[in-house]
Amino acid sequence: MGALFLLRMPKKSSRRPSDPERFGALSTSPSCFQKIDGMEQYICRFEARCAQVRAELAECLEGYRSEGLKRAVLSPFDLVAQNSTQPNRNVLRAKEGKTSSVPPLPPPHFHYDVPQVFRRNLIASYTPATRTIDMGQGMDPGVRPMDMLYAIHEVRHVEQDNDVRTQWRNNPQAMQNYKNFLNGKGVLDGGKKIIQTNEVGTYALELRLNHLIFKHRLSLMKGMLADNSAVRQYLQYEQILDRFPAFREDTDEIPPAFISWLRTMMSENGYDIYDYTDNGVEIVYRRLENR
């Protein structure tokens, strides 16, 4: 359930903002992720940038009528702020002095990690079973605007996980269904799996954020324009926005055609696609047919 590489440019290790003086060079080296303080600075930089972007977004969204849109756009940034008070969000701090594995933080909190070895083709991912956002080593979401959007995509997945755990906390059967799904019971072995509804929500968020950042000339825009690969990525988003203009509008509705388009893209990228039925009494996961 990691971020798809779907809409993304290949991530090269040489990628840098072209104006490091103004936008901050990648100040992280792989060794920094093995030290608690290095990780702490990395996380704090991301959180500080999120607070800044959240304030800018809230201001530009004042003129919008759709409360659902405002909530959808702002809530991941609020979750980052909520999580910032939890010292063990830094997985290295949580692991300090422990030999056994670190238990997941209960909602709303979650871990950040920058693992030494990361699954191929992923630049960031969220693992609900451990409640951890993993960032690729070349990623610096407190500095690079596109990396920030990819990280926010994963934060939205944390929200989705929080919602399930909160909604079903008094229903052992539903929680068991969820945990079985996360642990791979009753699903295809070894396949890359993805929940359609969740990805629709996260990609819709990315598209809306891109639109808002450029339309309202938020500070992230300057950083994007200073980075060639970010510009290419932005142009890709623009093509998708041209195709689904609802994401530029004052609404939180998601066009049905976007759902089927995304599903086709996910299938073509080799994902096994699942979705869930929630009838208020239980939650059941099922695999969707490939298209």
* Shorter beta-carbon distance to Zn ion: residue 92 or 152: 152
Question: Is 202 an interacting residue with respect to Zn ion (CB under 5 A)?
Answer: yes
**Number of Cα atoms under 13 Å in the Cβ half of residue 125:** 19
Output 3 or 207, the one with its CB closest to Zn ion: 3
Near Zn ion by CB under 5 A, which window of 76-84, 171-179, 196-204, 226-234? 196-204
Taking CB under 5 A as the binding criterion, the range among 2-10, 53-61, 65-73, 99-107 that sits at the site for Zn ion is 2-10
Q: Please choose, from the candidates 269, 258, 54, 81, the residue with its C-alpha nearest in 3D space to the C-alpha of residue 159.
A: 81
Binding flag, residue 132, Zn ion (CB under 5 A) = no
| C-alpha torsion sign, points 51, 124, 10, 268 | negative
User: What count of Cα atoms within 13 Å lies in the side-chain half-sphere of residue 50?
Assistant: 28
**Closest separation in Å from C-beta 76 to Zn ion:** 12
**Residue placing its CB nearer to Zn ion in the complex, 90 or 127:** 127
State CA 50 to chain mean position distance: 13
Here's the x/- map for Zn ion, 8-47, by CB under 5 A: it reads as ----------------------------------------
Q: Are 111 and 89 in contact (CB under 8 A)?
A: yes
Per-residue DSSP letter, 274? E
User: In the bound complex, what is the minimum distance in angstroms from residue 133's beta carbon to Zn ion?
Assistant: 11
Alpha-carbon distance 250 to 253, whole Å?
Answer: 9
* Count of chain residues binding Zn ion (CB under 5 A): 2
Edge-to-edge strand ranges of the sheet holding 124-127: 111-113, 132-135, 124-127
| Identity of the residue, 83 or 202, whose beta carbon is nearer to Zn ion in the bound complex | 202
Q: How far is the CB of 256 from Zn ion (least distance, A)?
A: 20
Report in angstroms how near the CB of residue 203 gets to Zn ion at its nearest. Answer: 7
Q: How many CB atoms lie within 10 A of CB 5?
A: 14
Note whether 160 binds Zn ion by CB under 5 A: no
Q: Which residue is nearest to Zn ion (CB)?
A: 202
Q: Which residues pair with 193 in a beta bridge?
A: 272
- Site for Zn ion, rule CB under 5 A: 3, 202
